[in-house]
Structure 1
Amino acid sequence: MSIESHTAPMPDRSRDVSQPLEKLHPDETLKANSDQLRGGIVEGLGDPVTRAVLGEDSKLMKFHGLYLQDDRDVRDERRRQKLEPAYGFMVRVRLPGGVCSPSQWLKLDALARDYAAESLRVTTRQTFQLHRVLKSNLRPTIQGLRDVLLDTRAACGDDCRGVMCSVNPRLSTLHAELYDIAKRSSDHATPKTGAYREIWYEEERTPTASPEEPLYGRTYMPRKFKIGFVIPPINDIDVYAQDLGFIAIIEQGKLVGFNVAIGGGMGRIDRNQNSYPRLADVVGFVAVGRVLSTIDAVMEVQRDYGDRSDRARARFKYTIDDKGLEWVKAEIETRLGFELGAARPYNFTSNSDSLGWQRGEDGLQHFTLFIQNGRITNAPDCRLLDGLRAIARMHKGEFRVTPNQNLIISNIAKADRDQIEGLLRAHGLSELNRGSGLRLNAMACVAFPTCGLAMAEAERYLPELITKIEEILSQHDLYDEPITIRMTGCPNGCARPYISDIGLTGRAPGKYNLYLGGGFHGQRLNKLVLENIGEDAILDKLGGVIAHYARERNVYEHFGDFVLRAGYLNTTQDNSP
């Protein structure tokens, strides 16, 4: 069963924004006047006076996968010395489905060592980020990625972000099929403007008679748009957190199509009651061959009806809540030219990774390695960057980045297993999978020092906090119990904290909101329990709940389910089938 082919030129499906110009957010005018994302980026790259780019071009660079940041650890000191902030760029790779070849890994490793402070960051959307890249090194970095058929297009910005897909290593045939669909979907939904090639590859502009952006038009999407594909029973991509999710329906071992879920999104603003996380709604079923047309239809509805005056209300989840789910579904079906089929039965059991060795249905083996908060670097007792480089030099399979910030060394022949195990031991990597059930189900965003939105620590602090929670768990014989904990330095939700058993979002240095009661397979939002609290209050609250859980939980009852049953929360949204 084939997915649609789009080898012919795409028709112009874009539509001018219908809202009056005076009501548009300034970013809409910026996009419209950017000459399809060119702006003044070339001139800014050549400016030797600053390590930043000037004016609004930093916003346009997001569409190219680049975020202007500075080192917040030294910001105040540099301000006192009347120096420019220590600017650098975050470079995010477009990596559909999280699949990476050994040659691509070696290139990423080399770029990290040369330009990104000898560190790679695995993200919660199955890709890599390079931090602290200087402006003068952006072109060498992006051209280096091109050498191994990688790029950074649409990794950020108001467009379709990186497309996710399940990485269950046991399902070899289904993973290959799903990955192929995810890759085609990413290529299909990525902006087509020639600006990327001209700016970063220094190619000449090629005149064209047809629109450069047949889907996006001049103003692209109102905000970011996220797509993911998942194979039950493992909801590893947190499909209910996607703007558009495709839930694979398997019948007699064959992929027959997808249930379509729309309207998920994690971001919120603490002081804005009109912003909130939302779980996606399953609205119907489509056959495999109609995936690309479904993507077009859903994105067109959000493109044309999403709020372009208030960026805090511009995500697809708000369009659905403002217009009504049935109205949005009908509009999607009108653009498709057919009605969605009835959703088919499916079941999720978890959203976590199975660590360690697994055997695929094709006989090849896979090793899933826990990467704490996605950070790949060298430490005295664990040379993670060096160890993975050594493995990449001999590995004949592939690497798969998981949506939980872990890494699968995939498609290993039986004859090569001993060598890979030896390299893991030699570089101190063998111990990484031996943490508590809480630590092995933890995620954090980058936060300080590089993210400009962070209000509190996350990646650098969560391991320390987990160590203290582990002491409580050990007292109650719960050390190995799988409990999800996720922390972000702000309420934007990059680590998807609002669907974890325990969620923490930063409010100020050392202060967090505490959420409890999410669904173990991502089917239920958690709920705010305590606001703007420090470590002592967090540990005190968790200590009491954990003790209660140890005394009165049912057999096989997950922590979030117990918290809800025990009355710690009011009713929370539940999207379980």
Structure 2
Amino acid sequence: MAKLSVEDIKRESRNLRGTIAQELRNSALFFTPEAEKLLKFHGIYEQEDRDKRKTDRQNDHHQVMIRAKLPGGQLNADQYLAMDDIAGHYANGTLRITTRQTFQLHGVLKADLRETIQAMNHALITSLGACGDIVRNVLVCPAPAMNAQQQAVQEFAFKLNEALYPKTRAYHQIFLDDTELIDDSDIIEDEPIYGHTYLPRKFKIAIAYAGDNCVDVYTNDVGLVAIFGEHDELLGFNLLAGGGMGMTHNNEETFPRLADEIAFIKPEQVIEAVTAVVTIHRDYGDRQNRKHARLKYILHDKGVDWFRDELANRVSFKFEAPRSVPPFAVYDHLGWHVQTNGLLYVGLHVENGRIADRPHERVRSGLRAIIERFNPAIRLTCQQNILLTDILPEDRLAIEAMLTEYGIRTVDKISKIRRNGLACVALPTCGLAITEAERVFPQVISEFEDALDRLDIADANIMARMTGCPNGCARPYVAEIAFVGRSLDKYTVFLGGNPNGTRLAQKFLDLVHITDLIPTLTPILRYYRDCRHTDEAFGDFVMRVGFDVLHQLVGDEAVKSAVGD
């Protein structure tokens, strides 16, 4: 029997039902390949612990990862505590903050999957649409709004999530209903936006304020940049389209791309315009080659002018040319801040987003104790950090004491290179991982800190990111320095992105062993120390000096052995 394509599986799935319900009731420890593809739409990835597989080949080590869908990264204290309980009862005892403002649960067994989803649902948290060929979690600046207009911008994350939510009831029937799933082949729901094969590939949306790119808005399929008037009134949004990070090594048909500015739209036009962009992807995306299926390839292949014309044909209004905006910066919102209502919020650094207890830093226990006692609202950030909001000023000292008690480092105790770092999960659970990222990046950052300290530039504000494969989950291709997994313990080094997220990094060296990453970069860091302009960012310095000079600095042998074709 011929293997079904993903498009065939979607088409025959009866709106994402497939055989998932039946397979949840059998005794197999893992799902069929067809069901595994459909599970992604429900926010679930089947994985295997490759560490355990390596040491114990006699037993099965399949598990699932569940990703929540939390628009804008917002949840209340009870929801956070519920997720923490679920992590302890069903998962591996940790919560993982993603680079898209949500939580992942790792290590859930197939036999516990339905109960886990039901526990999340009891806390009013869903995973439907967190993965799969569909609109994913909608991002927006997580900091508490400074005025009613910023609040209106943040609410668009929820409005877009609702407008672009799939109509299928498969999720509820499979995971939440107590009754047996009936043969519903004659009552398949209409999917007016997606159709019965949904999108050719995933679709990501982010909303930023003009001047604050904390969501990396240009790396998304659709970006909205909010523009305010002289009196802070919301005028509208610049609509961006065609961004995306994923690529495949040695495949020139795949590449990271920053979104193009398409139009200026008014607030009341946002839902219609973004929906129209989604339908363009639905109708023109490449359904034959999934590596070429993202929206960015439509804009690359057909051109921005074609895209603008196609969008104009699909909306009921005439849009304007994009408006000028001030230069972007990236604010991570860490530390203590005053909200406009007089309350406080504190942003806490969570290394690589992993909320776990370690011998000297009990982040999971500490956060739980603080949240149980003070009942703050929660915001997750695109930098894998957490904000505790709506805190009474008189509670600040007590919270600071608890942070100290649990060894949770505040922003003043973290180097800038560590503060700016991001890493994806990678090994041992991600099926796409070529090599390590999350587990080794803290040590790489420590080596980075040592090198900067020896060069007497310990306070250098450099952005570095690491991924275990080239798919770009930690948005490496806009970082000033990126280590992208190439083979076991070896990485492609990219240099030259900027701190504002508006320029792509370029491939500098290939197949650099993990132990050589920082030694290889040290001559460049020394040259940066000696030759940078006042306040010149590292990425800007790299692009000004050029790769020819930098290759000479790292030495001919390093370039010969590590530069790619």
| TM-score range relative to shorter protein | over 0.9
Q: 1:92 maps to what in 2?
A: 67
Alpha-carbon separation, structure 1, partners of 2:535 and 2:151: 32
Q: What one-letter code is carried by the residue in structure 2 that aligns with 1:107?
A: A
User: Would you say 1:135 and 2:110 are equivalent positions?
Assistant: yes
SS of 1:151's equivalent in the other structure is coil
Comparing 122-131 with 388-397, which one deviates more in the overlay?
388-397
> Structure 1 residues 303 and 25, CA, compared in 2 at 3 Å: closer, same or farther?
farther
SS of 1:56's equivalent in the other structure is helix
SS of 1:63's equivalent in the other structure is helix
Q: What one-letter code is carried by the residue in structure 2 that aligns with 1:453?
A: L
Q: 1:539 maps to what in 2?
A: 518
- The alpha carbon displacement at 1:77 in A equals 2.9
Tell me if the contact between 2:237 and 2:266 (Cα under 8 Å) persists in the aligned partners.
Answer: yes
* Residues 6-85 of structure 1 aligned to structure 2 (within 5 Å): 26-48=5-27, 50-79=28-57, 81=58, 83-84=59-60
- Could you list the per-position Cα deviations for residues 189-212 of structure 1 after superposition, in whole angstroms to 9, with x for gaps in the alignment? 121100000001025579797843
SS of 1:363's equivalent in the other structure is coil
Alpha-carbon separation, structure 1, partners of 2:4 and 2:332: 40
SS of 1:283's equivalent in the other structure is strand
SS of 1:409's equivalent in the other structure is strand
* Residues 281-292 of structure 1 aligned to structure 2 (within 5 Å): 281-292=260-271
Alpha-carbon separation, structure 1, partners of 2:462 and 2:388: 25
Alpha-carbon separation, structure 1, partners of 2:503 and 2:250: 23
- Could you list the per-position Cα deviations for residues 171-222 of structure 1 after superposition, in whole angstroms to 9, with x for gaps in the alignment? 3544432221111111211211000000010255797978431211110000
What TM-score does the superposition give when structure 2 sets the normalisation length?
A: 0.93
- The alpha carbon displacement at 1:349 in A equals 3.5
Q: Give the counterpart of 1:405 among 361, 381, 384.
A: 384
- The alpha carbon displacement at 1:486 in A equals 0.6
User: Would you say 1:528 and 2:507 are equivalent positions?
Assistant: yes
Comparing 416-425 with 32-41, which one deviates more in the overlay?
416-425
Tell me if the contact between 1:235 and 1:348 (Cα under 8 Å) persists in the aligned partners.
Answer: no
Residues paired across the two proteins, number: 544
- The alpha carbon displacement at 1:338 in A equals 2.5
Q: Give the counterpart of 1:385 among 364, 368, 375.
A: 364
Q: 1:213 maps to what in 2?
A: 191
Tell me if the contact between 2:349 and 2:409 (Cα under 8 Å) persists in the aligned partners.
Answer: no
Alpha-carbon separation, structure 1, partners of 2:252 and 2:454: 39
Tell me if the contact between 1:168 and 1:175 (Cα under 8 Å) persists in the aligned partners.
Answer: no
- The alpha carbon displacement at 1:346 in A equals 1.2
* Residues 172-211 of structure 1 aligned to structure 2 (within 5 Å): 173-202=148-177, 211=189
User: Would you say 1:318 and 2:297 are equivalent positions?
Assistant: yes
User: Would you say 1:248 and 2:222 are equivalent positions?
Assistant: no
**5+ residue gaps, structure 2:** 550-565
Q: 2:97 maps to what in 1?
A: 122
Tell me if the contact between 1:107 and 1:148 (Cα under 8 Å) persists in the aligned partners.
Answer: yes
> Structure 1 residues 118 and 138, CA, compared in 2 at 3 Å: closer, same or farther?
same
Alpha-carbon separation, structure 1, partners of 2:410 and 2:33: 47
Q: 1:107 maps to what in 2?
A: 82
SS of 2:437's equivalent in the other structure is coil
- The alpha carbon displacement at 1:416 in A equals 2.3
Comparing 551-560 with 335-344, which one deviates more in the overlay?
335-344
User: Would you say 1:154 and 2:152 are equivalent positions?
Assistant: no
Alpha-carbon separation, structure 2, partners of 1:348 and 1:38: 46
Q: What one-letter code is carried by the residue in structure 2 that aligns with 1:537?
A: D
SS of 2:402's equivalent in the other structure is helix
**5+ residue gaps, structure 1:** 1-21, 571-577
- The alpha carbon displacement at 1:348 in A equals 3.6
User: Would you say 1:234 and 2:242 are equivalent positions?
Assistant: no
Q: 1:559 maps to what in 2?
A: 538
Q: Give the counterpart of 1:308 among 262, 268, 287.
A: 287
User: Would you say 1:435 and 2:410 are equivalent positions?
Assistant: no
- Could you list the per-position Cα deviations for residues 311-348 of structure 1 after superposition, in whole angstroms to 9, with x for gaps in the alignment? 01000000111121111111111100233212112124
Q: 1:294 maps to what in 2?
A: 273
> Structure 1 residues 233 and 569, CA, compared in 2 at 3 Å: closer, same or farther?
farther
- Could you list the per-position Cα deviations for residues 222-252 of structure 1 after superposition, in whole angstroms to 9, with x for gaps in the alignment? 0000001011322011000000000000112
- Could you list the per-position Cα deviations for residues 366-415 of structure 1 after superposition, in whole angstroms to 9, with x for gaps in the alignment? 10000000000111211111111112113343111010001111121212
Identity value in percent: 40
Q: 1:165 maps to what in 2?
A: 140
Tell me if the contact between 1:445 and 1:488 (Cα under 8 Å) persists in the aligned partners.
Answer: yes
Q: What one-letter code is carried by the residue in structure 2 that aligns with 1:412?
A: I
Q: What one-letter code is carried by the residue in structure 2 that aligns with 1:377?
A: A
Greater relative contact order (CA < 8 Å, ≥ 6 in sequence): 1
> Structure 1 residues 215 and 161, CA, compared in 2 at 3 Å: closer, same or farther?
same
Q: 1:6 maps to what in 2?
A: none
Tell me if the contact between 2:168 and 2:189 (Cα under 8 Å) persists in the aligned partners.
Answer: no
- The alpha carbon displacement at 1:432 in A equals 6.2
Q: 1:144 maps to what in 2?
A: 119
Q: 2:245 maps to what in 1?
A: 266
> Structure 1 residues 149 and 130, CA, compared in 2 at 3 Å: closer, same or farther?
same
Alpha-carbon separation, structure 2, partners of 1:563 and 1:269: 24
* Residues 488-507 of structure 1 aligned to structure 2 (within 5 Å): 488-507=467-486
- The alpha carbon displacement at 1:528 in A equals 0.4
Alpha-carbon separation, structure 1, partners of 2:233 and 2:114: 44
Tell me if the contact between 2:467 and 2:483 (Cα under 8 Å) persists in the aligned partners.
Answer: yes
> Structure 1 residues 225 and 125, CA, compared in 2 at 3 Å: closer, same or farther?
same
Q: What one-letter code is carried by the residue in structure 2 that aligns with 1:95?
A: L
Tell me if the contact between 1:94 and 1:162 (Cα under 8 Å) persists in the aligned partners.
Answer: yes
Alpha-carbon separation, structure 2, partners of 1:158 and 1:321: 20
Comparing 406-415 with 296-305, which one deviates more in the overlay?
406-415
Tell me if the contact between 1:503 and 1:515 (Cα under 8 Å) persists in the aligned partners.
Answer: yes
- The alpha carbon displacement at 1:423 in A equals 2.0
- Could you list the per-position Cα deviations for residues 94-136 of structure 1 after superposition, in whole angstroms to 9, with x for gaps in the alignment? 0000011001001001001101111000000000000000111
- The alpha carbon displacement at 1:569 in A equals 6.9
Alpha-carbon separation, structure 1, partners of 2:488 and 2:460: 30
SS of 1:333's equivalent in the other structure is helix
- The alpha carbon displacement at 1:477 in A equals 2.2
What TM-score does the superposition give when structure 1 sets the normalisation length?
A: 0.91
User: Would you say 1:452 and 2:431 are equivalent positions?
Assistant: yes
